[in-house]
Amino acid sequence: MAAPHRRNRNRVLRFRSLPLRSRLAILTAAAVAVAVAACAVSCWFIVRGQLMTQLDQSLQTADSRSAGFIMSRNGCLNEAPQNSLDNPAPPILNKAIMQVYLSDGRTCAIIGDTVLPVTDSDKDTARLASTLDNNEGPGPEIGTSPITVTGSDGTEYRVVTKAFSTKNQTQPKTDYGSRTTYVGVVMVARPLSEVTNPLNTLALILLVVSGIGIVGATAAGLWVARAGLKPVDRLTDTVEHIARTEDLSVRIPVDGEDEIARLSTSFNSMTSRLAASRELQQQLIADAGHELRTPLTSLRTNIELLERSEATGRALPPEDRRALLTSVKAQMTELASLIGDLQELSRPDTTPGGSPLQLVAFHEVAETALSRARLRAQDIKILSQLAPWYVRAEPAALERAIVNLLDNAVKFSPPLSSVEVNLHGGELTVRDHGPGISAEDLPHVFERFWRATASRALPGSGLGLSIVARTVQQAGGTVGLHPAHGGGTIAVMRLPGTPMPPPPAMPTGRPTNGIREMGEIREF
């Protein structure tokens, strides 16, 4: 049992190893072969049935009274003259084998080159023919259905047997002045070759036509497969080229709107995204290297000054030493912030095991973020007006997002200017009075690793706004940047929530997943 199964599996594996165009051509040829074979076989059987029906009908049209003519031709009627019969010979006698078998067991007349076998059914019919010999005429016709027999010459014949009686036929008198009545059956046969020869010719024609059709279908299937798979070949060549050269700028020409065209479009979109991602990653590496180089250089310079002071025994003035240590601490803080941004964005967008969302006082988190931003604002005044609002978010991530918005506003604000922060109805706005953002840069401001050309000389890695967008999205809110009237930029963060904290428990006892405000529950 295992060996045939293994052989069948090997055949399937060999078929699957063929090129796709070859498999399509084989499947097309197989389908056409099955269809052509079914049509050819159906046609052959239909024609065979029609020919057999015509042959049987021609045998059935033979008149049983023609037996008298046969008997007169063969001396069964005491050499009666041929023209003494009432009925002339029917036309069928010119083509058929005919034989008369009498009820007394004699075969008295044969027309043709062969002797037909007398079956038990023929003998029974001959005996039944005696019932025709009555005063009321020949009575109902008795006979057998067409059957196939083999003659004395070895040829197959189609035979019909019919009962007859010569009682009412004109017959010569005997030597004693009486007329003899003969009762029996007449057997009419035609060679089965009248059916088999046309069928053999038809089978040969169908075989040749089917073979030509199958070969043509195979060639057409192969041509169609090659033509249809040309876009796939181009796609394969492009993928192999990209895998070999890592050149993501190659695109596949898109023709039409079929499945191959959609596949090509999707592949081009994928390579475009990969190319953009690679470019952003390269830009990140360059930006991160630039951002890391500045604090590291400052750290090394300050540490070398401290080491030289210790090595030479010449102590630095307390003020200079304090300034060096403050600078070292600031550079370390900047490094930690940059590394934190990278770690924050390295996490997946949805973390099943991450920190769960909590009920957070949005206004309190914003106040904490404002305190941190004011420490770094120096000569820039930050004005705020915060109304109570409660949301569901991750507290640390929300604070970091607000700090990033504030730092971004402070960074682009001119000296001695102000930054206005307002929170009302769940909408936090941060407005600065800086140069603003160009219209072509606005769609990209929240992309990871992206920085405007004009801001590349400023501190930062281009990760802050990406962290903001990620945090707001996780909290179910929206964020955007818009040009401000009179110059500058307005950052708008909207989070769903309510101005009042939720009750300790719902009246129904179900878990609290929202808070009640003005008779309705708002989902977080």
- What does the DSSP 8-state code read for residue 443? G
Q: Are residues 278 and 207 in the same domain?
A: no
Q: State the Cα–Cα distance between residues 431 and 484, nearest whole angstrom.
A: 7
- At 128, is the pLDDT very low, low, confident or very high (cuts 50, 70, 90)? confident
Task: Tell me whether residue 326 is in a domain.
Answer: yes
Task: Tell me whether residue 43 is in a domain.
Answer: yes
Q: Can you read off the two tokens belonging to residue 156?
A: 């197959």
Name which residue leads in pLDDT, 411 or 351.
411
Q: Are residues 81 and 171 in the same domain?
A: yes
Torsion sign over Cα 14, 17, 18, 24: positive
Across 7-21, 27-41, 155-169, 355-369, least confident range: 7-21
Run of H or E residues at 6: helix 2-17
- Tell me which residue of 23, 21, 25, 22 sits closest to 33, measured CA to CA: 25
| Residue 347, CA distances (Å) to 61, 283, 342, 351, 354 in order | 96, 20, 9, 8, 10
Task: Tell me whether residue 94 is in a domain.
Answer: yes
Q: Can you read off the two tokens belonging to residue 102?
A: 């009498």
Domain boundary among 138, 170, 191: 191
Percent of the chain with pLDDT over 70: 73
Phi and psi (nearest 5°) for 386? Answer: -120, 125
Tell me what pLDDT residue 201 has: 94
DSSP helix/strand/coil, 492: strand
Q: Are residues 139 and 284 in the same domain?
A: no
| Residue 224, CA distances (Å) to 21, 24, 65, 229 in order | 9, 9, 67, 8
DSSP bridge partners of 359: 392
Q: Are residues 168 and 297 in the same domain?
A: no
Tell me what pLDDT residue 42 has: 94
Could you tell me if 137 and 101 are in contact, meaning their C-beta atoms sit under 8 angstroms apart?
A: no
Could you tell me if 373 and 403 are in contact, meaning their C-beta atoms sit under 8 angstroms apart?
A: yes
- CATH number, domain of 391, equals 3.30.565.10
DSSP helix/strand/coil, 106: coil
DSSP helix/strand/coil, 177: coil
First and final C-alpha spacing in the chain: 63
Residue 30 Cα to chain centre, angstroms: 22
- Quick: pLDDT tens for 32-69: 889 989 999 999 999 999 999 998 888 887 665 555 55
Q: State the Cα–Cα distance between residues 163 and 186, nearest whole angstrom.
A: 6
- At 135, is the pLDDT very low, low, confident or very high (cuts 50, 70, 90)? very low
Tell me what pLDDT residue 83 has: 33
Q: Are residues 163 and 129 in the same domain?
A: yes
Domain boundary among 162, 191, 220: 191
- Quick: pLDDT tens for 336-371: 877 777 776 666 554 444 556 789 999 999 999 999
Across 230-239, 446-455, 512-521, least confident range: 512-521
Tell me what pLDDT residue 520 has: 39
Q: State the Cα–Cα distance between residues 315 and 322, nearest whole angstrom.
A: 12
Q: Which amino acid is at 208?
A: V
Could you tell me if 125 and 102 are in contact, meaning their C-beta atoms sit under 8 angstroms apart?
A: no
Instruction: Tell me how many domains the chain contains.
Output: 4
Could you tell me if 328 and 364 are in contact, meaning their C-beta atoms sit under 8 angstroms apart?
A: no
Q: Which amino acid is at 54?
A: Q
Could you tell me if 393 and 470 are in contact, meaning their C-beta atoms sit under 8 angstroms apart?
A: no
Task: Tell me whether residue 475 is in a domain.
Answer: yes
Q: State the Cα–Cα distance between residues 488 and 417, nearest whole angstrom.
A: 11
List alpha helices for 359-459, DSSP H: 362-377, 395-411
Task: Tell me whether residue 10 is in a domain.
Answer: no
| Mean pLDDT computed over 157-166 | 81
- Quick: pLDDT tens for 490-516: 999 999 999 988 776 555 444 444 333
Q: Are residues 127 and 178 in the same domain?
A: yes
Q: Are residues 341 and 398 in the same domain?
A: no
Q: State the Cα–Cα distance between residues 38 and 52, nearest whole angstrom.
A: 21
Could you tell me if 182 and 80 are in contact, meaning their C-beta atoms sit under 8 angstroms apart?
A: no
Task: Tell me whether residue 253 is in a domain.
Answer: no
Q: Are residues 443 and 368 in the same domain?
A: yes
Q: Are residues 139 and 181 in the same domain?
A: yes
Q: Is the pLDDT of residue 92 over 70?
A: no
Domain boundary among 165, 191, 217: 191
Q: pTM of the predicted model, to two decimals? A: 0.47
DSSP bridge partners of 516: 521
Across 18-22, 219-223, 234-238, 265-269, least confident range: 18-22
Strand 97-102 with 183-191, pairing = antiparallel
Could you tell me if 464 and 407 are in contact, meaning their C-beta atoms sit under 8 angstroms apart?
A: yes
Domain with 309, as residue range(s), is: 259-346
Task: Tell me whether residue 270 is in a domain.
Answer: yes
Percent of the chain with pLDDT over 90: 17
Dihedral of CA atoms 108, 112, 118, 124 in degrees, nearest 10, equals: -60
Across 110-114, 274-278, 424-428, 452-456, least confident range: 452-456
- Quick: pLDDT tens for 232-249: 888 888 888 888 888 888
What is the secondary structure of 273-288 as a DSSP string?
A: HHHHHHHHHHHHHHHH
3-class SS shares of the chain: helix, strand, coil, % to 5: 50, 15, 30
Q: Is the pLDDT of residue 390 over 60?
A: yes
Q: Can you read off the two tokens belonging to residue 122?
A: 């023929």
- Tell me which residue of 441, 367, 375, 440 sits closest to 398, measured CA to CA: 367
- At 6, is the pLDDT very low, low, confident or very high (cuts 50, 70, 90)? low
Across 123-137, 320-334, 434-448, least confident range: 123-137
Tell me what pLDDT residue 361 has: 93
| Mean pLDDT computed over 104-118 | 78
DSSP helix/strand/coil, 158: strand
Q: Can you read off the two tokens belonging to residue 200?
A: 């053999």
Q: Is the pLDDT of residue 427 over 50?
A: yes
Q: State the Cα–Cα distance between residues 125 and 94, nearest whole angstrom.
A: 25
Q: State the Cα–Cα distance between residues 49 and 310, nearest whole angstrom.
A: 118
Q: Are residues 208 and 292 in the same domain?
A: no
- CATH number, domain of 162, equals 3.30.450
Task: Tell me whether residue 234 is in a domain.
Answer: no
- CATH number, domain of 267, equals 1.10.287.130
What is the chain's mean pLDDT, rounded? 77
- Quick: pLDDT tens for 459-475: 555 677 888 888 898 88
Q: State the Cα–Cα distance between residues 189 and 208, nearest whole angstrom.
A: 33
Q: CB burial class (10 A; 0-12, 13-18, 19+) of residue 395?
A: middle
Q: How many CB atoms lie within 10 A of CB 73?
A: 18
Q: Are residues 501 and 480 in the same domain?
A: yes
Tell me what pLDDT residue 86 has: 39
Phi and psi (nearest 5°) for 142? Answer: -115, 140
- Tell me which residue of 151, 187, 190, 154 sits closest to 55, measured CA to CA: 190
Q: Are residues 338 and 379 in the same domain?
A: no
Tell me what pLDDT residue 50 has: 93
